[in-house]
Amino acid sequence: MAKLYSKKNLAKKTMLPKKETIRLLLQYSCALSIIKVGSMNFETFAN
Amino acid sequence: MAKLDLPDALLVDKYVAGNEDALEILVNRHQSKIYGYIYSKVSNRDITEDIFQETFFKVIHTLKSKKYYNEEGKFLSWVLRIASNLIIDKFRNDKKMPLDRDTDDLSVFYRISDNSLNVEKRLIKEQINIDLKAIIEKLPHDQKEVIMMRYFLDMSFKEIADFTGVSVNTTLGRMRYAITNLRKVIDKNKIYLTT
């Protein structure tokens, strides 16, 4: 049955987030460090 | 380049181990589906952008804290669930649900537009899209969900099954019922969906 429904592709190709959003997320990820001490998490951000 | 072919679970492991490139691959791989999913619910580019960003903030935070995520191989469904919860929170805060999904920005059924169509055909096509949308809206939630995810978010049946928490066979069954129900409504109301 999968074959019956797998050919059509109506999804719009341009449904993508802005490049700035992606850049921000990746930079956020690089800057964020989480250190676990016992049961507590400490967050630090690199400049 | 070989990294691009790695499965999600392995990329998640690499990211948790400190490899930032792995996150970039995961984001690039799934951004369209996640963004499309959010947009299909909120129908607004700015809100979609905010929720997309918020979703990945949570993903990053959770993975860096090395907690919660243990659904090996189901990264996309996990992220979509986070996005789904954030959408619910958003509407809870706004105390309203989106009723009209047609905007100048995007009509969900306008994606099949063809520049070569003349004005008359285009108008007919628009009417068909409106009719089809109205019919799909009347489907039971689980069937509507499968139709939207399959045709408008381009998700595979496996991904839909993971996301909705049912088997692939159930998903296929829902699709079959959805198509059957759509045909019934079309026949009953004598709707002509052709240009």
Confidence of residue B124 (pLDDT cuts 50, 70, 90): confident
**Whether A32 and B64 lie within 8 Å, measured CB to CB:** yes
d(CA B14, CA B11): 5
Domain boundary among B94, B118, B135: B94
**pLDDT of B127-176, one tens digit each?**
877 878 888 888 888 898 898 888 878 888 888 898 888 998 899 999 98
Domain co-membership, B86 together with B150: no
Q: Which of A10, A21, A32 sits opposite B152 (nearest CB)?
A: A10
Within this chain, do residues B134 and B59 fall inside the same structural domain, yes or no? Answer: no
Which positions ≥6 away from B35 have C-beta within 8 Å? A15, A16, A17, B48, B52
**Which residues have a Cβ under 8 Å from the Cβ of B139 and sit 6 or more positions away?**
B147, B178, B181, B182
- pLDDT of res. B68: 60
In this structure, is residue B193 part of a structural domain? no
**pLDDT on residue B26:** 93
Contact check, Cβ <8 Å, A26/B24: yes
Residue B69 scores a pLDDT above 80: no
Distance to chain B for A26, nearest Cα, Å: 7
- What is the predicted ipTM? 0.71
Tokens of A38: 């016992």
B170, two tokens: 């159930």
Domain shared by B84 and B112, yes or no: no
Q: Tell me: do B86 and B52 sit in the same domain.
A: yes
Of B64, B150, B152, the CB nearest to A34: B64
Q: Both B90 and B113 in a single domain?
A: no
Residues 6+ apart with CB under 8 A from B22: B3, B6, B11, B12, B14, B15
Helix (H) or strand (E) holding A13: none
Nearest CB neighbour to A15, from listed B23, B35, B53: B35
Report, as an integer, the average pLDDT of B104-132: 66
Calculate the average pLDDT of chain B: 81
Domain that holds residue B54: 2-94
The last residue of one of the domains, among B36, B60, B94, is B94
CB-based contact A10 B151, cutoff 8 Å: yes
Give the CATH number for residue B27. 1.10.1740.10
Contact B111 A17 (CB under 8 A): no
Owner of token pair 């994606």: B111
Query: In sequence order, what are the residues at sequence separation of 6 or more whose Cβ sits closer than 8 angstroms to the Cβ of residue A24?
Result: B53
Q: What percent of chain B has pLDDT over 90?
A: 22
Among B84, B182, B191, which residue's Cα sits nearest to residue B137? B182
Residues 6+ apart with CB under 8 A from A33: A43, A44, A45, A46, B64
Shared domain check, B88 and B9: yes
- Residue at B100 is within a domain: no
Q: Is residue B59 part of a domain?
A: yes
Of A1, A16, A29, the CB nearest to B23: A29
A29 Cα to chain B: minimum distance (Å): 6
Q: Which of B94, B126, B161 is the last residue of a domain?
A: B94
Residue of B19, B41, B54, B56 for testing the chain A interface, max A β-carbons within 10 Å: B56
Number of domains chain B is built from: 2
Question: Is pTM, for the whole model, over 0.80?
Answer: no
Residues of B in contact with A29 (CB under 8 A): 20, 23, 60, 64
Q: What is the pLDDT of residues B182-195, one digit of tens each?
A: 888 888 777 666 65
Q: Per the domain annotation, does B6 fall within a domain?
A: yes
pLDDT digits (tens, 9 = 90+) for A1-47: 555 555 555 555 568 999 999 999 999 999 988 887 777 778 787 76
Claim to verify: residue B78 and residue B113 sit in the same structural domain: no
Six-digit token string for B19: 């490899």
User: What is d(CA A19, CA B146) in angstroms, rounded to the nearest whole number?
Assistant: 29
Q: Is B90 among the domain residues?
A: yes
Q: Work out the angle between the directed axes of helices B20-42 and B75-94 (0-180°, nearest 10).
A: 40
Q: Does B138 reside within a domain? A: yes
Domain boundaries, chain A: 18-47
The CATH number of whichever domain residue B148 belongs to comes to 1.10.10.10
Closest CA to B98 of B41, B179, B37: B41
Q: Could you tell me the pLDDT band of residue B113, with boundaries at 50, 70 and 90?
A: very low
In a domain, B102, yes or no: no
In a domain, B41, yes or no: yes
Q: Average pLDDT, stretch B28-44?
A: 90
CB spacing of A29 vs B61 below 8 angstroms:
no
Q: Report the pLDDT value the prediction gives residue B103, as an integer from 0 to 100.
A: 59
Cβ within 8 Å, pair A15-B36: yes
pLDDT band of residue B84 (cuts 50, 70, 90) is very high
